[in-house]
Structure 1
Amino acid sequence: MAYVVAVDGGTESLRAGIYDPSGACLGQATHSYETMFSAGARAEQNPEDWWSALGHATKGALAKAGIDPAAVEAICLTTTSCTVVALDEEGNALRPALLWMDVRAGEEARDVLATGDAALAVNGGGQGPVSAEWMIPKSLWLKRHEPHVFERAATIGEYQDFMTLRLTGRRVASLNNASIRWHYSTARGGFAASLVRALGLDALLDKWPAAIVPPGGVVGTLTGRAAAHLGLHTGVKLVQGGADALIGMIGLGVAKPGQLALITGSSHLQFGVSERAVHHPGLWGSYPDAVYPGRHVIEGGQTSTGSILQWLKRLMNGTMDLDALNMAAARLEPGCDGLVVQDHFQGNRTPYVDPLSRGAIVGLTLAHGPEHVFRAVIEGISFGTRAILDEMAAAGFRAAELTVGGGATASELWLQIHADTAGIPVCVPASSAAPSVGAAVLAAHGAGHFASIDDGIAAMVKPGRRIEPRARESARYDEIYRGYRALYPALKDVARAAAPAAAKTREPVEA
Structure 2
Amino acid sequence: MNYLIGIDLGTSSVKAILMDREGNILSQAQKSYQIDVPEIGYAEQSPELWWSSTKNVLKKILEQNIDPSRIGGIGFSGQMHGLVMVGKRGESVRPAIIWSDQRSKSQVERINRLIQEEKAAGKMLNSVSTGFAVASLLWVKENEPESYGKTDKVLLPKDYIRFRLTGKLAVEATDASSTLAFNVAERKWAECLIDTLDLKKELFPPCFEPFDIAGEVTERAARETGLPEGIPVVFGGGDQFMHAVGNGLVYPGMVSSNIGTGGQIAAMTDQPLYDSKLRTNTFCHVKPNTWNIQGSSLNSGLSLEWLKTNILKEKDFGTMEAMAAGVPPGSDGLIFLPYLTGERTPHLNPNAKGIFFGLAFGHRSEHLVRAVMEGVAFSLKDSLEIMESLGIKADKVMASGGGAKSRLWLQIQADVYNKPIYTTKTREEASLGAAITAGVGIGLYPSVEEACEKVIHTHAEIIEPIKKNSSLYAERYEVFKELYRRNKDLFLL
Report the TM-score when normalising by structure 1. Answer: 0.86
SS at match of 2:130: coil
Task: Give distance in 1, aligned partners of 2:32 and 2:218.
Answer: 24
Q: Which letter does structure 1 place at the counterpart of 2:173?
A: L
1:409-444 deviations in Å (ceiling 9; x for gaps): 232222112112212111111122111111111111
- The answer on whether the counterparts of 1:154 and 1:207 sit within 8 Å (CA) in structure 2 is yes
Task: Name the counterpart of 2:208.
Answer: 213
Q: Which residue of 2 aligns with 1:484?
A: 480
1:294 lines up with 2:289 in the alignment:
yes
Q: 1:150 to 1:403 in 2, by over 3 A?
A: same
Deviations 1:427-464 (A, max 9, x none): 11112211111111111111212111121111122212
Q: State the Cα deviation string for residues 199-220 of structure 1 (Å, max 9, x = none).
A: 111x2x212112x222122122
Residue identity opposite 2:75 in structure 1: C
| Alignment correspondent of 1:265 | 260
- Give me the whole-angstrom Cα distance separating, in 2, the residues matched to 1:471 and 1:44: 43
Residue matched to 1:23? 23
CA drift of 1:317 comes to 5.5
Q: Determine the structure 2 residue equivalent to 1:172.
A: 170
Instruction: Quote the residue 2:412 is aligned against.
Output: 417
**Match 2:438 to one of 437, 443, 467:** 443
For structure 1, list consecutive stretches of 5 or more residues without a partner in the other structure.
Answer: 501-511
Counterpart CA distance in 1 for 2:43 and 2:368 is: 33
Match of 2:143 among 137, 145, 150: 145
- Return the alpha-carbon distance in structure 2 between the equivalents of residues 68 and 478 of structure 1: 53
The RMSD of aligned alpha carbons is 2.8
Instruction: Give the letter for the 2:232 counterpart.
Output: K
Looking at structure 2, the residues matched to 121 and 60 of structure 1 have their Cα atoms a distance apart, in angstroms, of 46
Indicate the SS of the match to 2:22.
Answer: coil
Question: Is the Cα contact below 8 Å between 2:4 and 2:72 reproduced in 1?
Answer: yes
* Cα separation, partners in 2 of 1:122 and 1:414, compared to 1, 3 Å: farther
- Gap change, CA 1:444 and 1:44, over 3 Å in 2: same
**Alpha-carbon contact 2:321-2:408 (below 8 Å) kept:** no
**Which residue type is aligned with residue 107 of structure 1?**
S
Change (3 A) 1:34 1:318: closer
Q: Residues 1-28 of structure 1: CA distance to partner in whole angstroms, max 9, x if unpaired?
A: 6211111222343222211111111112
1:184-263 matches, cutoff 5 A: 184-185=182-183, 187-188=185-186, 190-201=188-199, 203=200, 205-210=201-206, 212-263=207-258
Instruction: Answer yes or no: is 1:59 the counterpart of 2:54.
Output: no
Q: Deviations over 1:80-134 (max 9, x none)?
A: 22332222332222333333333333332222223234445588x66x4x22311
Contact kept? 1:415, 1:426, Cα under 8 Å = yes
Counterpart position of 1:507: none
Using structure 2 for the length normalisation, give the TM-score. Answer: 0.89
Tell me how many residue pairs correspond in the alignment: 486
Counterpart of 1:155 in structure 2 is: 153
Q: Kindly provide the amino acid, as one letter, of the partner of residue 190 in structure 1.
A: K
Q: Secondary structure at the match of 1:181?
A: coil
Of the three residues 405, 413, 424, the one matched with 1:429 is 424
The worse-fitting range, judged by mean Cα deviation, of 233-242 and 89-98 is 89-98
> d(CA) in 2 for partners of 1:344 and 1:149?
31
Output aligned runs, 1:19-168, within 5 Å: 19-32=19-32, 36-39=36-39, 41-64=41-64, 66-116=65-115, 117-120=118-121, 128=127, 130-168=128-166
Residue 216 of structure 1 contacts residue 453 of structure 1 at CA under 8 Å; is this kept in 2? no
The superposition leaves residues 244-297 of structure 1 with CA deviations (integer Å, 9 ceiling, x where unpaired) of 233122112222212122221343222221222222125322223x32332211
Question: What is the distance in 1 between the residues matched to 2:427 and 2:254?
Answer: 17
Q: Which amino acid aligns with 1:62?
A: L
Q: Match for 2:133: what amino acid? A: M
Distance 1:439 1:189 in 2: 20
Q: Secondary structure at 2:182's aligned position in 1?
A: coil
- Cα–Cα, structure 1 residues 13 and 303, in superposed 2: closer, same or farther, change >3 Å? closer
Whose radius of gyration is greater, 1 or 2?
1
* Structure 1 residues 457 and 51: CA distance shift in structure 2, 3 A: same
Q: Deviations over 1:372-394 (max 9, x none)?
A: 45434433332222222112222
- Report the Cα distance in structure 2 between the residues aligned to 1:398 and 1:335, rounded to whole angstroms: 27
Q: CA deviation at 1:40?
A: 5.5
Q: Does 1:394 align with 2:393?
A: no
Structure 2 residue identity aligned to 1:5: I
CA deviation after TM superposition for structure 1 residue 164, in Å: 3.0
Q: What's the CA shift for 1:195?
A: 0.7
- Of 456, 469, 489 in structure 1, the residue corresponding to residue 465 of structure 2 is 469
Distance of 1:95 and 1:71 partners within structure 2: 37
